[in-house]
Amino acid sequence: MAWSNADIDFTQKQNRYVPPQHRSNTISGFNNANSYAFCNESAQSGFSPFARFGTGRHGWAGPSSGHFSTAGRGRGRHRGRGGRFGCQERVIGSSPCPNRDAVDELEVIEEDSNFGGINFDAYEDIPVEASGSDISPPVNTFAELDLDEGLNKNIRRCKYVKPTPIQRHAMPNAVAGRDLMACAQTGSGKTAAFCFPIISGILKSRLSLPSAACGGGIVYPSALILSPTRELSCQIHDETKKFAYQTGVKVAVAYGGAPIVNQLRSLERGVDILVATPGRLVDIIKRERVSLRRIKYLALDEADRMLDMGFEPQIRKIVEQMDMPPPGVRQTLLFSATFPNDIQKLASDFLSNYIFLAAGRVGSSSELIMQKVELVQDIDKRNHLLDLLHSQRANGAHGKQALTLVFVATKKGADALQFWLSNKGFPAIAIHGDKVQLERERALKSFKTGATPVLVATDVASRGLDIPHVSHVINFDLPKDIDDYVHRIGRTGRAGKSGLATAFFSDYNTPLAKALVGLLQEANQEVPSWLSQYAETLPSVGGSRRSQRYSRGKYVGHDFRFTEPEVEKYKDFSTESYSDTCYDMANSYNDSSLSHDIPDTSLASSYDYAGATANADYQYQYRAGNAEDGLNGYASVVATGWD
């Protein structure tokens, strides 16, 4: 069902977003989730494809500036956990206990709380922006979606009682057959947001089409879900199988590093939904074991990653040159927690008349994650890490084994740190692109079960992985790109639970300072004064283009179609220009960080270059930069080790 202008209350004025802790009981804005409103002033004068939705009790009061208050973040109704990780650790170069109050007030929602452990209150106040034409209104319950009964049963089995904000908004539109570009914070339920509509659509079309059609040894799946890493594909496969349990919808997975024979065998049994990494998918298509000719649903998880750097040519090949029906014929669903403008632009090639959704600010980190940044020079990092782990061990973790995920820049660094930690009495295991798949799987399993409570990882584990009980993410080496940081810390603070993220900032991370300050402020986190000084006194000498969005004091917060320079081009689509705050055309692509002289500890950059597999098929050079598209900085970057 699409909603019309008549459903919209044009009378509301745009207000600033008021963080939950600053709200009184007086309700401002809209009273319940059934009220929709345009919050930008231009919308009041007539039609606009933009809508913003309140997602909870207080509704969306509409930020005019998009800046969240940097004041305290009390969430009174929850019990505290002061000292869980404590502030007793030695802090090098930063004031001790910079965020003690925040620690004390952090909520702890245990597994056995309502709704399968998800704390929906934590999401209630997240503003959702939707743009596009004929947007379906959000739902408050899964029942409103009119899903297949088998799927509904599985949703209940999974203890999904109520949809998260991104699910409330994305699902009705996806069920209505619309293409989506959807952005929501890490751990906020994006997987189900694209899985449920796909399963439901397949079940509904069952009446007219034979399932998992097979002909001449070739299978013709109806849905393809692509993700950048093997582990993430396995996870999505597991999740999708749970949701499709006993519905007759067949789900299979194909990913590199594992024997292809087994995967082909499982495909032979028929497949409706194929979850895959791009490299292995191309392989099985070339072997003529799978055809994409009947794809009705294409979902890209971590879509910005899939269309960034090394993956984009491969994705383009799969989507445009391998028999897949074109946009408009198939339905395309793109999801991620980050979506820089330049990638949005690229992504629009794969979409048709799509709806853009953003639950929270595009690229923002969850406020459920307490972020600490500490000034630690490279030479001190190991000892500092040890102090943190000792302190954590001393403080205990509610009788549960707290899992700590430590991100480093290089595979060598991961192995070395793992070995060193183990020798120091902290059982650790490493995961990176040089490990064979079996080792990677073992490492993950050992970490998940708590057998090895410290996982040292490169960025291969930074996106999408949903590991319960990861209570602390430590950026031993910070990534160069702020979006990578957002994904890394997003391995904690998931599904409404709180988490802690500590970053070791050294002089080499100077280019990230401004972006980090912006992100911390936006997420209501304490900004150490020394970090502000880095940001202010040392101008950003490069940094990735995405990092620069903060340094310019503006956020990528919106649908790129309606950011200033694009309005002309998309005139037919929108008669209004969007007057809200967050313009950021990615017009500054100079990424000198890629050519920086950087120490060995951060050599590999966030793309785990050295993870390059021997198979040349998996190595893609991003298109050589040219003055026209401004992508000079990305020439010669090889992004591998993911698939």
Ligand X SMILES: Nc1ncnc2c1ncn2[C@@H]1O[C@H](COP(=O)(O)OP(=O)(O)OP(=O)(O)O)[C@@H](O)[C@H]1O
Binding site for ligand X (CB under 6 A): 115-116, 118, 160, 163-164, 167, 184, 186-192, 337, 464, 466, 490, 494-495
Using CB atoms within 10 A of its CB, is residue 507 exposed (0-12), middle (13-18) or buried (19+)? exposed
In contact, 172 and 53? CB cutoff 8 Å: no
DSSP-based three-state secondary structure for 298: strand
Other Cβ atoms less than 10 A from the Cβ of 581: the count is 17
Instruction: Please provide the DSSP assignment of 343-366 as one string.
Output: HHHHHGGG-SSPEEEEESSTTPPP
Q: Which is nearer to ligand X, 187 or 197 (CB)?
A: 187
Instruction: Please provide the DSSP assignment of 35-99 as one string.
Output: -EE--SGGGGGS--SEEEE--SSS-----SS-PPP-S----TTS---TTSS-S-S--SSS-SSTT
Q: Which residues contact 461 (CB under 8 A, 6 or more apart)?
A: 229, 231, 405, 407, 431, 444, 455, 491
Q: Which is nearer to ligand X, 123 or 578 (CB)?
A: 123
Q: Which is nearer to ligand X, 166 or 318 (CB)?
A: 166
CB of 153 to ligand X, least distance (A): 15
Of the candidates 36, 367, 366, which has an alpha carbon nearest to the alpha carbon of residue 172? 36
CB of 164 to ligand X, least distance (A): 5
What one-character DSSP code corresponds to residue 257?
T
C-alpha dihedral sign at 265, 271, 276, 278 = positive
Of the candidates 347, 346, 350, which has an alpha carbon nearest to the alpha carbon of residue 320? 350
3-state secondary structure 457-513: ECHHHCCCCCCCCEEEEEECCCCCCHHHHHHHHCCCCCCCCCEEEEEEECHHHHHHH
Q: Which is nearer to ligand X, 62 or 278 (CB)?
A: 278
Measured from each CB, the residue nearest to ligand X is: 189
Of the candidates 299, 145, 297, 274, which has an alpha carbon nearest to the alpha carbon of residue 218? 274
CB of 359 to ligand X, least distance (A): 9
Q: Which is nearer to ligand X, 12 or 119 (CB)?
A: 119
CB of 118 to ligand X, least distance (A): 4
CB of 260 to ligand X, least distance (A): 26
In contact, 249 and 199? CB cutoff 8 Å: yes
Instruction: Please provide the DSSP assignment of 150-189 as one string.
Output: HHHHHHHHTT--S--HHHHHHHHHHHTT--EEEEE-TTS-
Q: Which is nearer to ligand X, 366 or 502 (CB)?
A: 366
Return the residue matching tokens 């391998």.
322
Which tokens go with 643?
A: 């698939």
Q: Which residues contact 463 (CB under 8 A, 6 or more apart)?
A: 228, 229, 232, 302, 305, 487
CB of 167 to ligand X, least distance (A): 6
Q: Which is nearer to ligand X, 459 or 566 (CB)?
A: 459
Gap between the Cα atoms of 16 and 573, Å rounded: 28
CB of 494 to ligand X, least distance (A): 5
C-alpha dihedral sign at 324, 325, 330, 336 = positive
Q: Which is nearer to ligand X, 156 or 569 (CB)?
A: 156
Q: Which is nearer to ligand X, 118 or 373 (CB)?
A: 118
CB of 258 to ligand X, least distance (A): 22
Q: Which is nearer to ligand X, 219 or 486 (CB)?
A: 486
Q: Which is nearer to ligand X, 38 or 196 (CB)?
A: 196
Cross-strand partners of 297: 223, 331
Q: Which is nearer to ligand X, 461 or 594 (CB)?
A: 461
Gap between the Cα atoms of 531 and 374, Å rounded: 9
Q: Which is nearer to ligand X, 434 or 466 (CB)?
A: 466
CB of 192 to ligand X, least distance (A): 5
What Cα–Cα distance (Å) separates residue 243 from each residue in 152, 250, 498?
A: 9, 11, 26
In contact, 129 and 52? CB cutoff 8 Å: yes
